[in-house]
A and B are shown apart, each in its own frame.
Chain A
Amino acid sequence: MLDKSPQALTAAVAADAVRSGRSAERGVVYVYEAPVRLWHWINAAAILVLGLTGYFIGSGIPTMPGETSDDFLFGHIRFAHFFAGYVLTLGFLFRIYWAFMGNPHAKQIFYVPLWRKRYWREVWHEIRWYAFVAAEPKKYVAHNPLAQLAMFFMFTLAIAFMIVTGFALYAQGTGNDSWQYMLFGWVFSIWPNSQDLHTWHHLGLWMIVTFALIHIYTAVREDIVSRQSIVSSIISGEREFRD
């Protein structure tokens, strides 16, 4: 776990500046390495495609006029969904790999230190900050504790769930002898009637939409309010502390 006291932060800024030859006065730390940033935007794009096509798969599209043999629209929508599903999955696997290979911040979205008293105190402070009770937010090099909580439960777990249920649904099309079924067929032991699986996968869509709403809002808001760079951090990788 990273030490997040103000002294440690100053130390982090200084150490980072030494490593990259930057002036420590600007108060900049390199947080999100290039692979993480690249992954972030590919991931976001894949989820945009998955969400849209998934919604269309779930509710159907307005009936296409004309000859049946001329149209393959629903097929293309489903193909786009599966393609983006593969992109998302490969990206997620890469991100797990990078949790081990990257800097310490790269591990943050994969665990929550629920057992640490201090962590809960910090979460409480963040809640007070977002509830307009605390006057100043604490500064964090990577995600703040509340963000970490949301990232883990609403993103990491939710995406893992979508990948597992998604590939199980995919196995319905590829059949009992496919590798998708070998790997994910166990899902049908939990939900013997695949109708339930569709329903859960569908609910997952709304979980991710809710996460994206909160995520984008807080990212933009903190960027403006909290005196530290946020949105530009996931583009340049650097966290700047502005006072």
Chain B
Amino acid sequence: MGGAAETFYGVIRRQGITRRSFHKFCSLTATSLGLGPLAARQIANALETKPRVPVIWMHGLECTCCSESFIRSAHPLVKDVVLSMISLDYDALIMAAAGHQAEAILEETRAKYKGEYVLAVEGNPPLNEGGMFCIDGGKPFVEKLRAMAEDSMAIIAWGTCASWGCVQAAKPNPTGATPIDKVITNKPIIKVPGCPPIAEVMTALVTFITTFGKLPELDRQGRPKMFYSQRIHDKCYRRPHFDAGQFVEVWDDESARKGYCLYKMGCKGPTTYNACSAVRWNGGVSFPIQSGHGCFGCSEDGFWDKGSFYDRLTTIKQFGIEANADQIGMAAAGAVGLAVAAHAAVTAVKRLTLNRAE
């Protein structure tokens, strides 16, 4: 691949794209990022003058759903991102080179673009047994990750695996799978959680970084604010049913057919930060709630370990049996209520007997 020093504009002109189309693309991207009218010119300027950002894309313990999502991006098209906007110098999954040839690219990028390349990590490293649960190129993945992180400009943690741990880190986590920010602590890390993240969110993030040459503003959890500062619930098109108090009570009831709110079915929209209800999936076609199923919070920390996907609150296991907050609370309040009644009864009996004695 290589050729990172070329500009985006140079590449697309070579591919026969007109200057007019180029400016159209810039305006569209500015709009989809929610930027003002001036930004389109800024984007154009950046893409014309800045050398393309080299990107190294690595895979740890993962299922490749992030890549699957990424390659389906519609705005911008993933081919534009991969072939023109960035210089994807290494991605074991979709690169032509293999074996030693591929590994050589890593060393080359490290040396040539020290402190300038973006390290995109899909999946996470398992740390138990010296990292031997994920061997990549003959070495534990965690070593490769540490080495490449050392000279990178920033790290993108793709998906819930890299951001939070996801299924391989679910209890009891036998391999010691660990999110990136717990392994690399000296580099800026952008978390893009979701299982997988939305395609347009992924490509828009890459566009932002290449365009402005800086990282987007992150929230407390290290996620880009522009996509993760609101909950599914806040932008849900079924929200009016929530406010009115119109809920689906059981699957396939009258309310379900009418498209009422799935709150009582355990929809986790109210606790899940993601852009699904705004951007939607597959080029804006739909998202889980629109298809009649509650959100199960795939972009949230530890979503595998919080009990049922059909329960809004976390299941509490400390009591030996699985229970929810209401069951435990009612049991406690009930026990105390009984104790109070018994105590009152004893008090009454004592007073009666005392009075008689007097």
Least distance between A220 CB and chain B CB atoms (Å): 9
**Nearest B residue to A173, CB-CB:** B234
Least distance between B150 CB and chain A CB atoms (Å): 27
Q: 1/0 per position for A59-92, CB-CB distance to B under 8 A?
A: 1110110001111111101000000000000000
List 10 additional A-B contacts (Cβ < 8 Å) besides A130-B343, A189-B220, A199-B316. A61-B247, A68-B246, A70-B244, A71-B243, A72-B243, A77-B245, A172-B271, A195-B268, A198-B313, A199-B325
How far, in angstroms, from A68 to B239 measured CA to CA in the complex? 10
Given contacts A63-B249, A172-B231, A209-B333, contact A195 B244 (CB under 8 A): no
Tell whether, in the assembled complex, residue B326 and residue A202 are in contact, meaning their CB atoms are under 8 Å apart. yes
Is B330 located at the chain interface by the 8 A CB criterion?
Answer: yes
Question: In the assembled complex, which residues on chain A have CB atoms less than 8 Å from the CB atom of B240?
Answer: 68-69
Is A2 located at the chain interface by the 8 A CB criterion?
Answer: no
Is A203 located at the chain interface by the 8 A CB criterion?
Answer: yes
Least distance between B91 CB and chain A CB atoms (Å): 29
Least distance between A176 CB and chain B CB atoms (Å): 5
Complex partner residue of A195 from B306, B329, B336, CB under 8 angstroms:
B306
Tell whether, in the assembled complex, residue A221 and residue B347 are in contact, meaning their CB atoms are under 8 Å apart. yes
Complex partner residue of B245 from A59, A63, A69, CB under 8 angstroms:
A63
Is A134 located at the chain interface by the 8 A CB criterion?
Answer: no
Tell whether, in the assembled complex, residue B246 and residue A63 are in contact, meaning their CB atoms are under 8 Å apart. yes
How far, in angstroms, from A104 to B99 measured CA to CA in the complex? 79
- Secondary structure at the A interface, as helix, strand, loop or mixed, is helix
How far, in angstroms, from A221 to B351 measured CA to CA in the complex? 11
Is A21 located at the chain interface by the 8 A CB criterion?
Answer: no
B-side residues, CB < 8 A to A, are 164, 219-221, 225, 229-231, 234, 240-247, 249, 255, 260, 263-264, 268, 270-271, 297, 300-303, 306, 312-314, 316, 325-326, 328-330, 332-333, 336-337, 340, 343-344, 346-347, 350-351
In this complex, the member of B225, B330, B336 whose beta carbon has the largest number of chain A beta carbons within 10 angstroms is: B336
Question: In the assembled complex, which residues on chain A have CB atoms less than 8 Å from the CB atom of B241?
Answer: 68
Tell whether, in the assembled complex, residue A193 and residue B234 are in contact, meaning their CB atoms are under 8 Å apart. no
Complex partner residue of B244 from A59, A60, A73, A203, CB under 8 angstroms:
A73
How far, in angstroms, from A166 to B242 measured CA to CA in the complex? 20
Within 8 A of B (CB), among A199-243: 199, 202-203, 205-207, 209-210, 213-214, 217, 221, 225
How far, in angstroms, from A70 to B241 measured CA to CA in the complex? 11
**Nearest B residue to A197, CB-CB:** B271
Tell whether, in the assembled complex, residue B343 and residue A206 are in contact, meaning their CB atoms are under 8 Å apart. no
Question: In the assembled complex, which residues on chain A have CB atoms less than 8 Å from the CB atom of B229?
Answer: 175-176
Question: In the assembled complex, which residues on chain B have CB atoms less than 8 Å from the CB atom of A203?
Answer: 325, 328-329
How far, in angstroms, from A175 to B324 measured CA to CA in the complex? 28
Tell whether, in the assembled complex, residue A213 and residue B333 are in contact, meaning their CB atoms are under 8 Å apart. yes
Is A188 located at the chain interface by the 8 A CB criterion?
Answer: yes
Least distance between A126 CB and chain B CB atoms (Å): 14
Is A156 located at the chain interface by the 8 A CB criterion?
Answer: no
Complex partner residue of A198 from B220, B243, B271, B346, CB under 8 angstroms:
B271
Is A10 located at the chain interface by the 8 A CB criterion?
Answer: no
**Nearest A residue to B346, CB-CB:** A132
Q: 1/0 per position for A105-129, CB-CB distance to B under 8 A?
A: 0000000000000000000000000
Question: In the assembled complex, which residues on chain B have CB atoms less than 8 Å from the CB atom of A225?
Answer: 347, 351
Within 8 A of B (CB), among A148-185: 172-173, 175-176, 185
Is A196 located at the chain interface by the 8 A CB criterion?
Answer: yes
Tell whether, in the assembled complex, residue B247 and residue A206 are in contact, meaning their CB atoms are under 8 Å apart. no
Tell whether, in the assembled complex, residue B325 and residue A217 are in contact, meaning their CB atoms are under 8 Å apart. no
**Nearest A residue to B330, CB-CB:** A206
How far, in angstroms, from A225 to B328 measured CA to CA in the complex? 32
In this complex, the member of A61, A69, A210 whose beta carbon has the largest number of chain B beta carbons within 10 angstroms is: A210
In this complex, the member of A173, A203, A214 whose beta carbon has the largest number of chain B beta carbons within 10 angstroms is: A203
Tell whether, in the assembled complex, residue B244 and residue A72 are in contact, meaning their CB atoms are under 8 Å apart. yes
Given contacts A68-B240, A198-B312, A199-B325, contact A217 B340 (CB under 8 A): yes
Question: In the assembled complex, which residues on chain A have CB atoms less than 8 Å from the CB atom of B313?
Answer: 58, 195, 198-199, 202
Tell whether, in the assembled complex, residue B330 and residue A217 are in contact, meaning their CB atoms are under 8 Å apart. no
Tell whether, in the assembled complex, residue A64 and residue B325 are in contact, meaning their CB atoms are under 8 Å apart. no
Least distance between A150 CB and chain B CB atoms (Å): 12
Tell whether, in the assembled complex, residue B301 and residue A192 are in contact, meaning their CB atoms are under 8 Å apart. yes
Tell whether, in the assembled complex, residue B340 and residue A214 are in contact, meaning their CB atoms are under 8 Å apart. yes
Is A194 located at the chain interface by the 8 A CB criterion?
Answer: yes
